[in-house]
Structure 1
Amino acid sequence: MLVTAPRLYIRRPSPTTAEFTVTTCPPLTLRLRLLLAALFLLRLLVLTTAILVLHARFFLQQSAPSPSSSSSPHSHSHSPPPPSPPPQFLALLRAGDIPSLLTTLLQALHQSPLGRATSAVQRALPLPDWAATALALAAGWAACCARVHTTESVLVLRGLGVQTSWMGGGGGWLGWVLGWIMGWGGGTRFIPTEKIRDVLINEAFRGWEVRYYLVVVVEGEEDVVVLFPGLLPRRKIVEAVWRGMRGCLFEEDGEEGEEDGGKG
Structure 2
Amino acid sequence: MPSPPCNLRINRPTPTTVSFTVSTRPPLTTLTSRLIHYTAVASRIIIAASIILILATKWCLWSTKEGWNHLPAWLSQSLPGQGAKFVAENAMAMYLVPVSMAVLWLCARRGYTEESLLILRTLGIQTTTSSPTYLSTATTRFIPTTSIQDIFIHEAFKGFEVRFYLAIVVEGEQDVVVVFPTLLPPLSILEQVWRGARSCLYEPKA
Q: TM-score range by the shorter chain?
A: 0.7 to 0.9
What corresponds to 2:59 in structure 1?
58
C-alpha deviation, 1:122, in angstroms: 4.0
Question: Structure 1 length normalisation: TM-score?
Answer: 0.68
> Is it true that 1:220 corresponds to 2:172 in the alignment?
yes
- Equivalence for 2:49: 48
Question: Are 1:248 and 2:194 matched, yes or no?
Answer: no
Percent identical pairs in the alignment equals: 42
The residue identity in structure 2 corresponding to 1:20 is F
SS in 2 for 1:149: coil
Determine if the alignment matches structure 1 residue 140 to structure 2 residue 104. yes
When the two structures are superposed, what TM-score results if normalisation uses the length of structure 2?
0.85
1:195 aligned residue? 147
CA contact (8 A) 2:9 2:20 kept: yes
Note the residue ranges of structure 2 that are not aligned, 5 or more in a row. Answer: none
Task: Report the CA distance between 1:57 and its aligned residue.
Answer: 2.2
The one of the two structures with greater contact order (alpha-carbon pairs below 8 A, sep at least 6) is: 1
- CA-CA distance at 1:150 after TM superposition: 2.2
Separation of aligned partners in 2, 1:115 and 1:204: 56
**What does residue range 1-264 of structure 1 map to in structure 2 within 5 Å?**
5-28=5-28, 29-65=30-66, 103-104=71-72, 107-124=73-90, 126-127=91-92, 129-143=93-107, 145-167=108-130, 175=134, 178=135, 184-253=136-205
Return the index of the structure with the highest Cα Rg: 1
What's the CA shift for 1:235?
0.4
Cα distance between partner residues in 1 of 2:157 and 2:192: 21
Q: Which runs of 4+ in 1 moved over 6 A?
A: none
CA deviation after TM superposition for structure 1 residue 139, in Å: 1.9
In structure 1, the gaps of 5 or more residues are: 66-77, 82-99, 179-183, 255-264
Q: Please name the residue that 1:68 is paired with.
A: none
Deviation at 1:121, TM superposition (A): 3.3
Whether the 8 Å CA contact 2:131–2:139 is kept in 1: the answer is no
For residues 42 and 15 of structure 2, what CA distance do their matches in structure 1 show?
42
* Whole-angstrom CA distance in 2 between matches of 1:158 and 1:48: 44
Q: Matches of 1:207 and 1:108 in 2, distance apart? A: 58
**Separation in 2, partners of 1:240, 1:39:** 32
Q: Which amino acid aligns with 2:26?
A: P
Q: In 2, distance between residues paired with 1:131 and 1:193? A: 54
- Secondary structure of 1:116's match? helix
CA RMSD of aligned residues (A): 2.6
SS in structure 1 of the partner of residue 106 of structure 2: helix
Distance in 2 between the 1:11 and 1:37 partners? 23
> Per the alignment, in what secondary structure is the counterpart of residue 12 of structure 1?
strand
Cα 1:166–1:248 shift into 2, 3 Å:
same
1-structure distance, mates of 2:18, 2:42: 36
Secondary structure in 1 matching 2:181: coil
